[in-house]
Structure 1
Amino acid sequence: MILIVALLLGVVAAYLAIAAVEMLRLGIGFRQALFYVPFKLAYPIADRRIRIAREAKPPVIYAIVHQSRIDPALMLALLPQDTLHILDPESAAAGWLEPWRELARTIAFNAEHVFVSRRLVRHLRGKGRLAVYFPDAVEPDMKAFRLYRAVARIATKADARIVPIFIGGARHLPFSFTPAEKAPRHWFPRLTPVALEPVSLAELVERPDGQQTTAANALFDRTADARLAATDSFRSLFLAIRDAAFRFGAGRIVVEDAVAGALTYKRLFIEARLIGQRITSASAPGEAIGVMLPNANALVASLVGLFSASRVAAVINYTAGPANVTAAVRTAHIRTVVSSRAFVQKAGLADIVEAAEQGGAKFVWLEDVSTSATMAEKLGAALLWRRPLAAQDAAKPAVILFTSGTEGTPKAVVLSHRNLVANAMQAEARIAFSPRDTLLNVLPAFHSFGLTGGTLLPLLTGVRLFLYPSPLHYKLIPGIAAKVRPTVLFGTDTFLAGYARTADDNDFSSLRLVVAGAEPVRQETRRTWRERFGAEIVEGYGLTEAAPVVAVNTAIHNRDGTVGRLLPGMQLRVEPVEGIAEGGRLWITGPNVMIGYMTADAPGEIQPVDAAWYDTGDIVSTDREGFITIKGRARRFAKVAGEMVSLGAVEMLAQALWPEDRHAVVAVPDRRRGERIVLVTTAEEAAPEALVQHGRNVGANALMVPQDIVKVDEVPLLGSGKTDYPSARRLAVERLGLDKAA
């Protein structure tokens, strides 16, 4: 009996000691500490950043993303005791919270009372604190979004500062509000309560570009920033994907192709380790290793293997032509290229292999890796699949991509692990992805959209990925979609329009989300997908240097003709450009902006970005709600008779007149007016007179209307699906008999 009493006293003493430590460490009250200890003992909690919330000076509103039933209890323990908590009806009625109600002034307020704002404004003006629990929705419906508007009004009237709070990992608790098929349950997940610095709404609505956004959008975006901050973007790609395997299950099928079949996370890591071991023996940490593979399981395994070995994956654009491949190999100082003999033979890439070898690279063939792997190596890979082959550093380079060269010579863009993980998490904080989704990816990995959005994002979010090797198989891809039944599809306008021409109406009926980027989406394409397949195309914007996504439309924030709103964690500014009345040059900053470039005059050397802000070279305009409209590339403006003319706007003029055809507008020298505009088009009926009349009808400037039209069977395209403007310009110069040196 004495022993039992002594044991109980020891437990009580230990409990009180732990409570005392937490009280001193976090600055919470003793009763709060007693309440917090069970959470601290049950879960690994990284609570360092919750002090930001406690130290915020009133009046303050804590905007808490409500993910699970224990969130209010955790906040009762961690937020100041004088905080007034406003809960949804279910949480407010929770009987198990009853003994702890005295920890807060009240938690009995029903969420509906938030619309009765006078009392809450008085509470805040009296140096009060308010905790509001928002529904856990990346894309809230209009009803849920009204809560953001109501709280924004209260904060404005009370001059209260906002502290958003997000508890990372809470959606995977057994008490989560998210269905288990979207967020697999774990009894003891790592919890990361994150609070952002207190900011007033007046500060949030002011943007670096000098414009103001709406208060509701500012509040919504600030909570999205907290959601992003709770993700671990400082993990290397290998560790981040491995964490996803633990979170969604090592036995979950995560990647599949039509030839090799399906791979689980565990099987993917085993194959990756076998490839990484071979690369490790033939290279040094940090060395750039070329990857020349189509969309297939082997591509994903090779990338993960290189990340495991701390090598840099330089993804080679095998459609760019021999000269560009040789230049790429030399610029990135690539000595080894991972590829497949079967792929090279089937795709007819012997000249590309020769070009890479001329650049100084040797090939490692995956067929040889497979056949030469010993039983000991296979057993080791099966046992050690969780462990990386080399030390990991998220700040180091992870990938080298080569820009498409739409405006000139391609450049080598160096992206870190953090750039890529952060961009995937930024996208997840703006668009809802889950293990219930299947992504059909047809975009090649040498295209930044195809790499980050089409390959890495699914691996990090548990989305099942089906890889198809070429986006150009317009007749085959609709049939693949009919069999795979994807819910998500990424593409470009060119590819989406091509698939629609050959698809049956039911082929894409499973899609809930179609995201388009790389080029403007034509209204004809948008209308076709809406009417035939019941799918809304949401348009986004990105560039390789930003890993690549910068902005995107979403279900609740969607405006045709724009590329959406900025991703969480990013800022923009728009600088005036001489000759352009509306909009200006877009500059961006954020965790996804590249490390730097590699250039041909300094092979293998990274030239860092000079400043925090990166000049995109795009001319844009923004509206009050933050929607971005692309006017064109700075280089895609021509100076005609002293006036700046957007070549992109001229393309839209031609597209509206001949919507079924493809068009490229280029500028060529003109002795009298400086430059002249040429339309390269597939429209057989295209005529200057029709363009002139259409321009008059829509009120277009006469200088915008091209008098020269070059008709072609196909507008030149790059492998990414973008228009190849240098080739289109050369074609125009040749057809019009102009000086080719111009």
Structure 2
Amino acid sequence: MILTGIVLGLLVAAYLAGSIALMIGLGLSFRQALLYLPLKLVYRIDDRRIRLARQAETPVIYVITHQSRLDPALMLSLLPDDTLHILDAQSAKAMWLEPWRELARTIAFNAEHVFVSRRLVRVLKRKGRIAVYLPENVEPDTRAFRLYRAVSRIALQGDARIVPIFIDGARHLPFSLVDEDNAPRRPLQRLRVGTLEPLTVNELTARAGAANTTASNVLFDRVAEARSGMSFSRQSLFQAVRRAARRFGADRQIVEDAISGTLTYRQLLMAARIFAGRFARMTAPGEAVGVLLPNSNGIAISLLGLMSAGRTAAMINYTAGPANVTSAIRTALIRTIVSSRAFIDKAGLEDIVEAAKAGGARFVWAEDIRDGIGNFDRLVAALCWQSPVSAQDPAAPALIMFTSGSEGAPKAVVLSHQNLIANAMQVEARLAVGPRDFLMNVLPVFHSFGLLGGLILPLLTGVRTLLYPSPLHYKQIPQVAAKRRPTILFSTDTFLSAYAKAAGDDDFSSLRFAVAGAEPLRAETRRVWKERFDTRLLEGFGLTEAAPVVAVSTATHNREGSVGRLLPGVRVRLEPVDGIADGGRLWIRGPNVMMGYMSADKPGMLQQLPEAWHDTGDIVSFDREGFVVIRGRAKRFAKIAGEMVSLGAIEMLVQSLWPEHRHAVVAVPDKRRGERIVLVTTAAEADAAELRRAGKEAGIAELAVPQDIVKVDEIPILGTGKIDYPTTRKLAIDRLGLAAAA
């Protein structure tokens, strides 16, 4: 009895001591600390950033992304106890909330009515604090988005600072508000409380600049920024995939191909562990190791194996041609390349292998690694599949990718683990994707769009992925889609158009949406997919240097003619361009923007960006709601008789005339004007007189309308689906007999 009393006394003393430590460490009241301590212990809460929220200068509005019924209890325990909490009826009436009820000065039961109340503005004007709980939907419907408008209006009227709060992991708790199919439950899910610095709506609007001017959207973006910045932060890509395995289940099927079948998270990481051991023995820490593989389970294993080993994966574009491959090997100082004999033989890439060897690289064959796996290797992998082989540094280079070469020689782009994870989470904060989805990735993983959208994003969000080997199988891909019923597809306009022509009306009917990038999405392609498959095409914009996504359309924000709105956390500035009044040259910075370039004249040397800003080379404009309109590449403007002409705009005009065909507009040398514009088209009926008439009706200057038309059977395209403009321009010059002038 005495012993029991002593034990109880010690427990009470420990409880009180822990509560006092929380009072001192976080600045909580004693009552808050008493209630918070068991939550902190059970859910191992990382609350280091809550001081930023508590110390925010009043008036302040805390905007909490409401993911679970535990969120209000946490916030009532952690936020200053004079905060007015605004809860919906279901949360306010929950029985488990009773112990915390006395901490809340007021609980409002009808959020929509409260939001329009003048009382909240009066609270703020008296230097008060308000906590509002907004739906966790990344693509809120019209009703839910009204709450953002209401909160931003109240913040403006009360001159209040906004502090977004996101509780990472809350959606996986047993009392989550998210559908269990999309957020598997974990009883002891670890939680992290994340916040951003307090800023007023006017400060947020000023920071967004030309990219956004509406209060509701800047609030929406700020909340999304808090969300994207919390998930998987301070982790390498290997660690992030391991964490996803824990969240979604180690035995969840996650990646598959037609030859080797399906792998679970556990099987994927076990195989990566074995490969990592081999890579660690044959290469040096931090070394760039080439990857020359098709879309397959093997490429997922190799990438994670290299990252587990602390190596940098350099993605070899085997469609770029021998000269470009040799240049890439030398630029990135690649001494070892992981590939497959079966793939080389089947794809007929012997010339690429010879080009790589000429650049100084040796080949390690995946077949040899697999044949050398013994029982001891399997045992170690089974026991240590969650442990990386080498130390992990999230800020270190993870990938080297090469630009497409659509406008010249490819450049080596160095991306860190943080760049890749940040971009995946930025996209996840815009598009509602999760374990309920099934993605069919037809884009090559050596391309940044195919890698991020088709492999990294699904691995981190629990989306099962079918890796398909080539986007050029126009007839087979619709058949596979009809059989496997994917819900998400990433592609390009060129490929989407080709698939639609070969597909039956029901082949793509399972898709919730498809995202088109890498080139402009034509209105005709959008119309065909909507009418035939009832599929919404969302257009995005990106570049390899941004890992790659910069902006994307969503169900909430979708405007034809634009590429959507900027991802959360992306900052922009526009530089004036002579001859262009509406728009400017786009510069970007953000957590997804690359570490820097490697160039052929300084092989292996990272050339960092000055002040972290990157010149995209794109000329864009923004409307007042932040929608991005691409006016064209700076290199895709021609100067005709002193006037700046957008070749992309002329392509859009041509497309409106002959929408079922492919077109490319290029500038070629001209002795009198310096340059002249040529249309290269697959439309046999294309006529210069009709084009001039359409240009006149559209208000386009006559000198900007192509006078020369070159008709071809196919427009040259790159392996990534983009138009190959250098080859197209050369074709036009040869056809017009301008080779000497060029």
TM-score (ref. length: structure 2): 0.99
CA distance in 2, matches of 1:397, 1:42: 36
One-letter amino acid matched to 2:356: A
Q: Is contact 2:212–2:218 with CA below 8 Å preserved after alignment?
A: no
Corresponding letter in the other structure for 1:292: L
Structure 2, unaligned runs of 5 or more? none
- One-letter code of the match for 1:709? I
Q: Structure 2 vs 1, CA of residues 25 and 589 (structure 1 numbering), >3 Å: closer, same or farther? A: same
Residue 718 (structure 1) shift: 0.5
Query: Contact 1:333 / 1:604 at 8 angstroms: preserved in 2?
Result: yes
State the match for 1:280 in structure 2. 280
On the 8 A contact 1:493/1:520 being kept in 2, the answer is yes
Q: Tell me, in whole angstroms, the C-alpha distance in 1 between the residues paired with 2:546 and 2:212.
A: 24
Q: Is the 8 A contact 1:114 1:151 kept in 2?
A: no
Residue of structure 2 equivalent to 1:574: 574
CA distance in 2, matches of 1:323, 1:275: 29
Report the equivalent of 1:426: 426
- The match for 2:324 is 324
- Which letter does structure 2 place at the counterpart of 1:21? A
TM-superposed CA distance for 1:699, in Å, is: 2.0
- Which shifted more, 75-84 or 3-12? 3-12
Q: Distance in 1 between matches of 2:291 and 2:696?
A: 51
Alignment pair present for 1:358 and 2:358:
yes
Please say if residues 117 and 154 of structure 1, whose CA atoms lie closer than 8 Å, have aligned partners that are also in contact.
no
Q: The residue matched to 2:577 in structure 1 has which SS?
A: coil
CA RMSD of aligned residues (A): 1.1
Any idea what the Cα deviations from partners look like across 1:581-614, whole Å, max 9, x if unmatched? 1101001000111111111111111111122211
- Structure 1 unpaired stretches of 5+: none
For 1:209 and 1:8, locate their aligned partners in 2 and report how far apart those are by CA, in whole Å: 60
Say which SS state the counterpart of residue 134 (structure 1) adopts: strand
Tell me the distance in 2 between the aligned counterparts of 1:562 and 1:50: 38
2:636 match: 636
Counterpart CA distance in 2 for 1:669 and 1:599 is 29
Pair 1:55 & 2:55 matched: yes
How far is the alpha carbon of 1:98 from its aligned partner?
2.6
Q: What is the total number of aligned residue pairs between the two structures? A: 742
Report what 1:148 is aligned to.
148
Instruction: Report the Cα distance in structure 1 between the residues aligned to 2:243 and 2:95, rounded to whole angstroms.
Output: 35
Tell me, in whole angstroms, the C-alpha distance in 2 between the residues paired with 1:413 and 1:192: 32
- Displacement of 1:354 in angstroms is 0.9
* Other-structure match for 1:538: 538
In the alignment, what sits opposite 1:24? 24
**Contact 1:730/1:740 (<8 A) preserved:** no
Distance 1:99 1:163, change over 3 A: same
Structure 1 position 113, deviation (Å): 2.9
Distance 1:108 1:583, change over 3 A: closer
State the shift of 1:211 in Å.
Answer: 6.2
How far apart, in 2, do the equivalents of 1:335 and 1:210 lie? 45
Whether contact under 8 Å (2:210, 2:622) holds in the other structure is: no
Partner residue of 1:613?
613
Rounded to whole Å, the distance in 2 between the matches of 1:165 and 1:703 is 55
- Corresponding residue for residue 515 of structure 1: 515
Report what 1:412 is aligned to: 412
Where 2:612 maps in the other structure, the secondary structure is coil
Q: Residue 652 of structure 2 corresponds to which residue in structure 1?
A: 652
How far off its partner does 1:704 sit?
1.8
Structure 1 distance, partners of 2:594, 2:108, is: 48
Give me the whole-angstrom Cα distance separating, in 2, the residues matched to 1:103 and 1:194.
22
CA distance in 1, matches of 2:474, 2:153: 50
Paired AA for residue 200 in structure 2: S
- Name 2:702's counterpart in structure 1: 702
Query: Is 1:527 aligned to 2:519, yes or no?
Result: no
Distance in 2 (alpha carbons) for counterparts of 1:54 and 1:480: 53
Shift of 1:374: 2.1
Aligned to 1:435: 435
Deviation at 1:108, TM superposition (A): 4.1
Code of the residue aligned with 1:532 in structure 2: it is R
Counterpart of 1:667 in structure 2 is 667
Q: In structure 1, what is the Cα distance between the partners aligned to 2:51 and 2:694? A: 62
Corresponding residue of 2:367? 367
The aligned residue for residue 390 of structure 1 is: 390
Matches within 5 A, 1:195-206: 195-206=195-206
| Structure-2 change in CA distance of 1:52 and 1:247 (3 Å) | same
Query: Cα deviation per residue 1:130-188 (whole Å; 9 max; x = unaligned)?
Result: 11110111111110001111111111111111111111110010010011111111111
Structure 2 residue aligned with 1:80:
80
Shift of 1:110: 2.9
Aligned to 1:337: 337
Alpha-carbon distance in 2 for matches of 1:415, 1:646: 31
Q: Is the 8 A contact 2:514 2:535 kept in 1?
A: yes
Contact kept, 8 Å, 1:413 with 1:598, in 2: the verdict is yes
What amino acid does structure 1 have at the position aligned with 2:171?
Answer: R
Q: For residue 101 of structure 1, what is the aligned residue in structure 2?
A: 101
Is 1:270 matched with 2:281?
no
Q: Structure 1 residues 687-696 or 98-107, which shifts more?
A: 98-107
CA distance in 1, matches of 2:333, 2:222: 42
Taking the aligned partners of 1:580 and 1:733, their CA distance within structure 2 comes to: 27
Aligned with 2:166: secondary structure?
Answer: strand
Q: Once the 2 structures are TM-superposed, how far is the Cα of residue 3 of structure 1 from its aligned partner?
A: 2.2
Whether contact under 8 Å (2:229, 2:425) holds in the other structure is no
Q: Secondary structure at the match of 1:638?
A: strand
Letter in 2 for 1:694: A
User: SS at the partner of 1:480?
Assistant: helix
Does the Cα contact within 8 Å between 2:165 and 2:194 map onto a contact in 1? yes
- In structure 2, the partner of 1:482 is 482
CA deviation map 1:376-407 (0-9, x unaligned): 12221222111111111111111111111111
Contact 2:276 2:309 in 1 (8 A): yes
Aligned-partner Cα distance in 2 for 1:676–1:116: 59
For 2:563 and 2:106, how far apart are their aligned partners in 1? Answer: 44
Q: In the alignment, residue 717 of structure 2 is paired with which amino acid?
A: L
Q: Distance in 2 between matches of 1:77 and 1:366?
A: 54
| 563-572 vs 373-382, which moves further | 373-382
User: What code does the residue aligned with 1:581 have?
Assistant: A
CA distance in 2, matches of 1:741, 1:264: 58
Please give the alpha-carbon distance, in whole angstroms, between the structure 1 residues aligned to 2:72 and 2:740: 70
Residue pair 1:208, 1:573 contacting (<8 A) in 2 also: no
Distance 1:516 1:293 in 2: 24
**Hey, what does 2:191 align to over in structure 1?**
191
C-alpha separation in 2, matches of 1:212 and 1:129: 27
What residue identity is the alignment partner of 2:186?
H
Counterpart CA distance in 1 for 2:537 and 2:106 is 45
Distance 2:611 2:729 in 1: 33
Q: Is the 8 A contact 1:680 1:709 kept in 2?
A: yes
- The aligned residue for residue 504 of structure 1 is 504
Alpha-carbon separation, structure 1, partners of 2:163 and 2:723: 45
Instruction: Tell me what 1:219 maps to.
Output: 219
How many angstroms apart in 2 are the aligned matches of 1:623 and 1:299? Answer: 41
SS in 1 for 2:304: helix
* CA–CA separation in structure 1 for the residues paired with 2:69 and 2:395: 36
Matches within 5 A, 1:236-247: 236-247=236-247
Shift of the 440–733 alpha-carbon distance from structure 1 to 2, 3 Å rule, reads: same
Contact 1:493 1:521 in 2 (8 A): yes
What displacement does 1:477 show? 0.1
Tell me how far apart the structure 1 counterparts of residues 311 and 741 of structure 2 sit (CA, whole Å).
42
Note if contact 1:666-1:729 (Cα within 8 Å) is conserved in structure 2: yes
Q: Which amino acid aligns with 2:48?
A: R
**Structure 2 counterpart of 1:731:** 731
Counterpart-to-counterpart distance in 1, 2:666 and 2:68: 55
Shift of 1:229: 2.2
- Deviation for aligned residue 1:96: 2.7
Deviation at 1:226, TM superposition (A): 1.0
- Counterpart amino acid of 1:322? P
When residues 28 and 434 of structure 1 are mapped into structure 2, their CA distance, relative to the original with a 3 A threshold, is same
1:618-642 Cα shifts (integer Å, max 9, x gaps): 0000011110000100010000010
Moved more, 274-283 or 468-477: 274-283
CA contact under 8 A between 1:114 and 1:150: conserved in structure 2? no
Identify the residue that residue 586 of structure 1 maps to in structure 2: 586
